[in-house]
Amino acid sequence: MNIQLAAHPPFSLSSVIHSHGWARLAPFHQDEEQEELKYIYHSKKSPVIKLNIKEIADGVAVSTQGEVNQNDQAEITATVTWMLALNEDFSEFYQLTKGEPKLSQVEEKAQGRLLRSPTLFEDTIKTILTTNTSWAGTIRMTESLVKQYGELLPGKIAEYSFPTPERIASSNEQTLRDITRLGYRSPYILKLAREISSGSLDLEALKSDKVPGDQLHSKLTSIKGVGNYAAANLMMLLGHYDYLTIDSWAIKMVSQEFFNGESIEPKDVEEIFEPWGKWKGLAYWLWNWSDN
């Protein structure tokens, strides 16, 4: 199956892939040589398939590897559109960046879209796996979780889909700690998976643009293991850019950029980017820090 999807201009698949580190986390795979993004997808109605996504004029072409029912086309279309934020319009943000040298590259490079997973469940778990660890640790934990609980792509040796909530929910905390080696995050991830699989939490409903930002942030921080930093990261992935992902790196960079290296607090970071309004998170994310 080959599907061609249009993107709201301007669009760059490369900019989406490099928007943050998700392309390096299983079951994503970036093929630098072919300039493709690959993802092992667990369809709702068909066996696990591989999505091969390549940029074409005005959008992307999606080809599939594995058995695909014709009825899956609508699901794949909706999934890839969400993953790449193909429908998002950043013209207002681009207009605001004109005259700001530190953001002069964003429209030319079609930056703004952040790579998403097909589900908020996957993005939430991956975000939790970024907390209090190195990036190498995040890659290792994600790969371990996928290999242990994901479903194998038919005919392949080591290509797995991201696990469903039900697969993780059927496990236990000790296994997640000792074998999957998720550490202190184990009970958080198990609890989240069990709440979703039992139906007591509809996490995917939060992807709706009808959920107000403050309400969305409150619901995200109510998830065990999701603090303010993780919630701000998830807000960005959901298209709400009015929260900042403030960590020690952010404080260091803002201190060097705006305060001559003096000691600052998170509120100082907020004040610097407050003029960007609803786009402040994206302005911070795409700011050119190369001189620091």
Query: Does a structural domain hold residue 99?
Result: no
CATH number at residue 17: 3.30.310.20
d(CA 172, CA 195): 14
pLDDT value at position 292?
Answer: 60
Q: What is the dihedral of CA 54, 29, 123, 225, to 10 degrees?
A: -160
Domain of 141, CATH number, reads 1.10.340.30
- Whether residue 241 lies inside any domain: the answer is no
1, amino acid identity: M
Reported as type and span, the H/E element at residue 177 is helix 173-178
Residue pair 256/241 in contact by the 8 Å Cβ criterion: no
For residue 13, being part of any structural domain is answered with yes
Residues 140, 217, single domain; the answer is yes
Handedness of CA 93, 94, 95, 101 (dihedral sign): positive
Q: Is residue 105 part of a domain?
A: no
Residue 75's identity, in one-letter code, is: E
Rounded CA separation 86/288 (Å): 24
Question: What secondary structure does DSSP assign to 69-86, as a single string?
Answer: -GGGHHHHHHHHHHHTTT
**Domain total for the chain?**
3
Tokens of 94: 């681009």
Residue 79 domain-assigned (yes or no): yes
Residues 150 and 219 in one domain: yes
Same domain, 220 and 253: no
Q: 230 lies in a domain?
A: no
- For residue 165, the enclosing domain spans 120-224
Q: Are residues 275 and 212 located together in one domain of the fold?
A: no
For 234, the token pair is: 């998830």
Interstrand relation of 2-6 and 59-65 (parallel, antiparallel or unpaired):
antiparallel
pLDDT per residue rounded down to tens, the chain (292 residues) = 789 999 999 999 999 999 999 999 999 998 877 789 999 999 877 788 999 999 999 999 999 876 677 778 889 999 999 999 999 999 999 999 999 999 999 999 999 999 999 999 999 999 999 999 999 999 999 999 999 999 999 887 789 999 999 999 999 999 999 999 999 999 999 999 999 999 999 999 999 878 888 999 999 999 999 999 999 999 999 999 999 999 999 999 999 999 999 999 999 999 999 999 999 999 999 999 987 6
Q: Which residues pair with 4 in a beta bridge?
A: 61
Give residue 77's Cα distance to chain centre: 18
Work out the angle at residue 96's Cα, subtended by the Cα atoms of residues 208 and 273, and round it to the nearest 5 degrees.
Answer: 75
Q: So what's the pLDDT on residue 157?
A: 74
